[in-house]
Amino acid sequence: MVDLSVSLAGVSLKNPVIPASGTFGYGREYAELYDLNILGSFSWKGTTGEPRLGNPQPRIAETEGGMLNAVGLQNPGIDAVVAEEVPHIAQLFQGPVIANIGGFSLEEYADNCRKLEGCPQVAILEVNISCPNVHAGGQNFGSDPKSAAAVTRAVKAATKKPVFMKLSPNVTDIADIARACADAGADGICLINTLLGMRIDLKTRRPLLANRTGGLSGPAVFPVAVRMVWDVYEAVRLPIIGCGGVSSARDVCEMMLAGASAVEIGAANLRDPYACKTIIEGLPAVCAQLGVSKISELTGGAHHD
C-alpha cells in the first residue's frame, strides 16, 4: 500500500494533488462531477480586495501545446468570498483549503490575508505576486526581489497562517526571487505561474486576445516548470508546490523529484474535468514502479547522489 500523504509547512494533505487557482473556481462546478474529498487540497480562484469583471473578450485562446489566458483576475472580491464561498466550500470539501490571494498594493495584499484569519478551513495563503503594483508604474511585484520581499513581509505581518509565495516565471533568475521571499519570512514557495505569450489571427492580422498578451499554460510549459522547481529547491530550504503543465501521475512524480512537496494541476482540468481524479488514482501504480512506498520520499530525489 503506497502512502500518498504529504506535508506543507505543517499542513497535512492526504495526497500531493491540488487543483490550481484559476482552473477550479471555488469548487462548486467540480463537486457536481466527483467527490472533492479525494483531493489533497485545492487552490481557489485568485481573489482581490474589490470585485473584478476581468479583461474584455476574447480572453482565452488555444495553442499547440496548451492555452493562453488573459482572464484578468475576475472574482467577486474578498468580502463576498468570505461571506458566501467559504461556507459553501465547507459543505463540499472537508480538507484544508489554499486561498489564492492577489493585490495591487501592499495594503491590499495584507488586508485580504487579514480577512481570512477567521476562516479555519483556509490552511495556506498562496500569494500571487504576478499582479501589477499600481504604485510602481504597473510593474509586477514578482519581477523584482525587493518588491517580492515587501509583499512577503506585509502578508506575514497580517496573518498567522502559512504563506506560500506564488512566483512568476517571467524573470531573469527565479531563484533570486525565491531567496528574497524566504529571507522575508515566507513559509513556502509555489511555482510557476504562467509564461507570457501571444498569438496572432492570420485573417484579421490582429492578436487573438483582446488583451494582446496572455499567460501560457499546459504541457508546453512543463519542462520550464520542472527546471524552475529544481533551481528553487537548490536555492531555498522551504516546501515547494510545483505547478505548470502537469497532466499525469508521472508528471506529478517528476515534479516531486525536482523538489516539489506537492503539485498543482491547472490547464489539464480545463481539458478534462476529471484530470485530478485520474491522476490521484494513477499515483500508487507509478510509485510502485519507482520503488517507493511513501510518495513524500520522492521530493528532491533527483538532487541526491
| Residue 131 annotated among the catalytic residues of the structure | yes
How many domains are there within the chain? 1
177 occurs within a structural domain: yes
67 occurs within a structural domain: no
276 occurs within a structural domain: yes
203 occurs within a structural domain: no
pLDDT of residue 1: 87
From 113, 131, 181, 243, active-site residue: 131
68 occurs within a structural domain: no
Three-state secondary structure of the chain: CCECCEEECCEEECCCEEECCCCCCCCHHHHCCCCHHHCCCCECCCECCCCECCCCCCCEEEECCEEEECCCCCECCHHHHHHHHHHHHHHHCCCCEEEEECCCCHHHHHHHHHCCCCCCCEEEEEEECCCECCCCCCCEHHHCHHHHHHHHHHHHCCCCCCEEEECCCCCCCHHHHHHHHHHCCCCEEEECCCEEECCEECCCCEECCCCCCEEEECHHHHHHHHHHHHHHHHHCCCCEEEECCCCCHHHHHHHHHHCCCEEEECHHHHHCCCHHHHHHHHHHHHHHHHCCCEHHHHCCHHHCC
127 occurs within a structural domain: yes
212 occurs within a structural domain: no
The pLDDT profile of the chain, 305 residues, written as one tens digit per residue, is: 899 999 999 999 999 999 999 999 999 999 999 999 999 999 999 999 999 999 999 999 999 999 999 999 999 999 999 999 999 999 999 999 999 999 999 999 999 999 999 999 999 999 999 866 555 555 688 889 999 999 999 999 999 999 999 999 999 999 999 999 999 999 999 999 999 999 999 999 999 999 999 999 999 999 999 999 999 999 999 999 999 999 999 999 999 999 999 999 999 999 999 999 999 999 999 999 999 999 999 999 999 76
Domain range for 296: 6-54+73-193+217-303
CATH, residue 181:
3.20.20.70
31 occurs within a structural domain: yes
